[in-house]
Amino acid sequence: MVCKKYYNFTNNFHFNPISVSENNLVFLSKNCPFKVIHSSLPNALPEPVTSSFVEYVVNGYYSKEIVSIPPLVTSISDGCFRGCFALSSVSLCSTVTRLGAACFYGCCNISNISIPHNVIFIGKDAFNWCSSLEQIVLPKFITKLEKTTFCGCSKLSEVELPQYLINIGESCFSGCSSLRKIEILENVEEMDSGAFSDCSKLEIVLFKTTKLVTIKNRMFQNCSNLEIIKLSCGITSLGNYAFSFCYKLSEIVMNEELEEIGDSTFMGCKMLSNVALNQKLKEIKIFAFKDCRCLSYLNISKSVKLGAECFKGCLFH
């Protein structure tokens, strides 16, 4: 039903469905900004192509367990394999330079994937909830890991961060509950909130960077196996809840530049007993050391501003 006023206009348009099969899948012309394979067929695979920029796209739940990306594909589209629960192995060709946002989101059966060394961009949520992923080697020219890239990868036990990495996004490795060790390399300048929160088996964090200024909010919250933290030179502030509920954390080695300890930074660190504060420290905020039950002594300068109940639940409170 249509308004009479527009009847003659709409009558010029007709529904003309084009059935798509494995035999007639085609790439768009080279005049387009990029070429796309677009298919809702569960078993459709593209043919090899000869374009300078090709984007790989799959819609719908992909039923294959093993996929090889054809030669000359340069980009895996946003959400390309999202929710492809059967997918267990992906072979990426060496021409791929971009992995789109959420491209493997929820692919819970992928255990290992080799990312080509030419990849320079990995979108947010790219491997979010790939709960069987055990190991990942990241290309050295990646400079930023977007938010929640590996969030919820509960079997991921080993990650080698790229040599030129500058930024680690919000909750990037949150919930990687099998991760045991992480090295923050020399070029890292920023780590966003919760980047390594809820990594319950994380035992060792090595700060090799001197460019990092802030440990942001919830950075290592609920890392219940973390025992010792040694802050690198250059860090001036610890964010809210940064190390809260790190139950086994017993020792913090502060640097000389630290000026501020945030709200509830060490709340619930019930094994924390050894904290050496520096002379430049200016403020300890509310609940900073709340319920640190083993903390019996702190040498604090009279000039340090203390927030309300910052030592509530400590032995000397």
pLDDT digit string, tens, across residues 274-287:
898 888 999 999 99
Average pLDDT for 140-145: 95
**Domain match, 170 and 226 both:** no
**Domain match, 126 and 220 both:** no
**Domain match, 288 and 185 both:** no
* pTM score: 0.82
Does residue 297 have a pLDDT over 60? yes
Does residue 172 have a pLDDT over 60? yes
**Domain match, 206 and 64 both:** yes
Q: Which residue has the higher pLDDT, 48 or 73?
A: 73
Does residue 26 have a pLDDT over 90? no
Would residue 261 count as lying in a domain? yes
Last residue of a domain, one of 212, 242, 274: 212
Task: Identify the weakest region by mean pLDDT among 44-53, 110-119, 155-164, 181-190.
Answer: 44-53
Q: Which residue has the higher pLDDT, 48 or 134?
A: 134
pLDDT band of 316, cuts 50, 70, 90: confident
**Domain match, 167 and 205 both:** yes
pLDDT band of 12, cuts 50, 70, 90: low
The CATH number linked to 205 is: 3.80.10.10
**Domain match, 120 and 105 both:** yes
Last residue of a domain, one of 182, 212, 242: 212
Does residue 14 have a pLDDT over 70? no
What residue numbers bound the domain in which 277 lies?
213-316
Q: What is the pLDDT of residue 6?
A: 56
What is the tens place of the pLDDT at every residue in 254-271?
999 999 999 999 999 999
**Domain match, 145 and 85 both:** yes
**Domain match, 162 and 234 both:** no
**Domain match, 150 and 240 both:** no
Would residue 90 count as lying in a domain? yes
What is the tens place of the pLDDT at every residue in 199-239?
999 999 999 999 999 999 999 999 999 999 999 999 999 99
**Domain match, 78 and 111 both:** yes
Last residue of a domain, one of 184, 212, 240: 212
Would residue 40 count as lying in a domain? no
Q: What is the pLDDT of residue 71?
A: 87
pLDDT band of 78, cuts 50, 70, 90: very high
pLDDT band of 29, cuts 50, 70, 90: very low
The total number of structural domains that make up the chain: 2
pLDDT averaged over every residue in the chain: 85
**Domain match, 114 and 229 both:** no
Q: What is the pLDDT of residue 25?
A: 40
Would residue 174 count as lying in a domain? yes
**Domain match, 66 and 131 both:** yes
Would residue 182 count as lying in a domain? yes
Does residue 66 have a pLDDT over 50? yes
Does residue 171 have a pLDDT over 60? yes
Q: What is the pLDDT of residue 99?
A: 97
Average pLDDT for 111-120: 92
Cβ atoms within 10 Å of 144's Cβ, excluding its own: 17
